[in-house]
Amino acid sequence: MTETVTKNFVIDFDSTFTSVEALDVLGAISLKNHPEKEARLKKIADVTDLAMGGNLSFRESLEQRLSVLNAKKEHIPLLIDELEKLVSKSFKRNKKFLEEHADQVYILSNGFKEFIYPIVKKYGIKEENVHANTFVMDNEGNIIGFDKTNVLSQSKGKPALIESLKLEGEIHVIGDGYNDYEIRKEGKANRFYAFTENVSREEVVKNADHVAPSLDEILYHNKMEGALSYPKNRIKVLLLENIHEKGVKIVEEEGYQVEIYPAGIDENELCEKIKDVSIIGIRSKTQLTKKVLDHANRLMAVGAFCIGTNQIDLAECTKRGIAVFNAPFSNTRSVVELAISEMILLIRNLPDKIAAMHQGKWNKSANNSFEIRNKKLGIIGYGNIGKQLSVLAEALGMNVYYYDLDEKLALGNATKCKSLKELLSKVDVISLHVDGRKTNKNIIGKKEFGYMKDGVIFMNLSRGHVVDIQELKKNIESGKIAGTSVDVFPEEPLSNAHEFVSELRGLPNVILTPHIGGSTLEAQENIAEFVPTKIIDYINTGTTTNSVNFPNLTLPILHDAHRFIHMHHNQPGVLAKITNTLAKHDINVLGQYLKTNDTVGYVITDISKNYSKEAIADLKKIEGTIRFRVLY
Ligand SMILES: NC(=O)c1ccc[n+]([C@@H]2O[C@H](COP(=O)([O-])OP(=O)(O)OC[C@H]3O[C@@H](n4cnc5c(N)ncnc54)[C@H](O)[C@@H]3O)[C@@H](O)[C@H]2O)c1
Ligand SMILES: O=C(O)[C@H](O)COP(=O)(O)O
DSSP string, 475-491: HHHTTSEEEEEE---SS
Task: Over range 320-348, report the average pLDDT.
Answer: 98
285 lines ligand 1 (CB under 6 A): no
Are the beta carbons of 161 and 108 closer than 8 angstroms? yes
CATH number of the domain enclosing 614 = 3.30.70.260
Residues 539-562 have pLDDT tens digits of: 999 999 999 999 999 999 888 899
Summarised one tens digit per residue, pLDDT across range 411-461 is 999 999 999 999 999 999 999 999 999 999 999 999 999 999 999 999 999
Torsion of CA 412, 418, 421, 425, to 10 degrees: -40
Confidence of residue 3 (pLDDT cuts 50, 70, 90): low
Least confident of 153-157, 427-431, 436-440, 582-586: 153-157
Residue 527 in domain = no
Question: What CATH number has the domain bearing residue 146?
Answer: 3.40.50.1000
Residue among 195, 224, 231 nearest 210 (CA): 195
395-413 average pLDDT score: 98
Report pLDDT digits (tens) over 345-381. 999 999 999 999 999 999 999 999 999 999 999 999 9
User: pLDDT for 236-254, tens place per residue?
Assistant: 999 999 999 999 999 999 9
Is any atom of ligand 2 closer than 6 Å to the C-beta of 308? Answer: yes
Is 331 close to ligand 2, i.e. is its CB under 6 Å away?
Answer: yes
Q: Are residues 357 and 506 in the same domain?
A: yes
SS3 sequence of 125-182: CCHHHEEEECEEECCCCEEEEECCCCHHHCCCHHHHHHHHHCCCCEEEEEECCHHHHH
Q: What is the mean pLDDT of residues 159-176?
A: 97
Give 562's DSSP letter: E
Q: What is the mean pLDDT of residues 146-160?
A: 94
Q: The whole model's pTM is what?
A: 0.87
Distance 118 CA to ligand 1 centre (A): 60
DSSP string, 64-83: HHHHHH--BTTHHHHHHHHH
| DSSP-derived 3-state class of residue 107 | strand
With respect to residue 484, please indicate whether it lies within any of the assigned structural domains: yes
**What integer is the mean pLDDT of 571-594?**
95
Q: What ligand 1 atom has the least distance to the C-alpha of 383?
A: 21
Quick one: which atom of ligand 2 is closest to the CA of 285?
Answer: 10
User: Dihedrals φ, ψ of 407, to 5°?
Assistant: -70, 125
ipTM for the whole complex? 0.99
CA 167 to the chain's CA centroid? 42
Residue nearest to atom 10 of ligand 2 (CA): 284
Catalytic residues: 463, 492, 515
pLDDT attached to residue 246: 98
Contact 435 CB / ligand 1 (< 6 Å): yes
**Counting ligands in written order, which one lies closest to the CA of residue 462?**
1
Q: Is residue 499 part of a domain?
A: yes
Asked if residues 569 and 599 have their Cβ atoms less than 8 Å apart, the reply is yes
Q: Which one of 261, 284, 466 would you pick to mutate in the ligand 2 pocket, going by the greatest count of ligand atoms within 8 A of its CB? A: 284
Residue 391's pLDDT is 98
User: What is the number of domains present in the chain?
Assistant: 4
Q: What is the CATH number of the domain that holds 359?
A: 3.40.50.720
Q: 385 CA distance to ligand 1 centroid (A)?
A: 7
Q: Does one domain contain both 206 and 243?
A: no
Angle between helix axes 332-347 and 384-395 (nearest 10 degrees) is 50
Reported as a pLDDT band with limits 50, 70 and 90, residue 57 is confident
Range of the domain at 196: 7-221
Strands 170-175 and 210-212: unpaired
Q: Is the pLDDT of residue 1 over 50?
A: no
Give just the sign of the alpha carbon dihedral 113, 116, 119, 125: negative
Using a pLDDT cut of 90, give the percent of the chain over it.
94
- Asked if residue 416 and residue 562 are part of one domain, the reply reads no
Q: Rounded CA gap, 504 and 361, in Å?
A: 23
What value does the mean pLDDT take over residues 300-311? 98
Same domain, 173 and 313: no
CB of 378 shorter than 6 A to ligand 1: no
Ligand 1 neighbour 440 (Cβ under 6 A) = yes
pLDDT at 610: 85
Q: Which residue in 182, 233, 25, 10 sits closest to 101, CA to CA?
A: 10
Instruction: Give the number of the ligand closest to the Cα of residue 404.
Output: 1
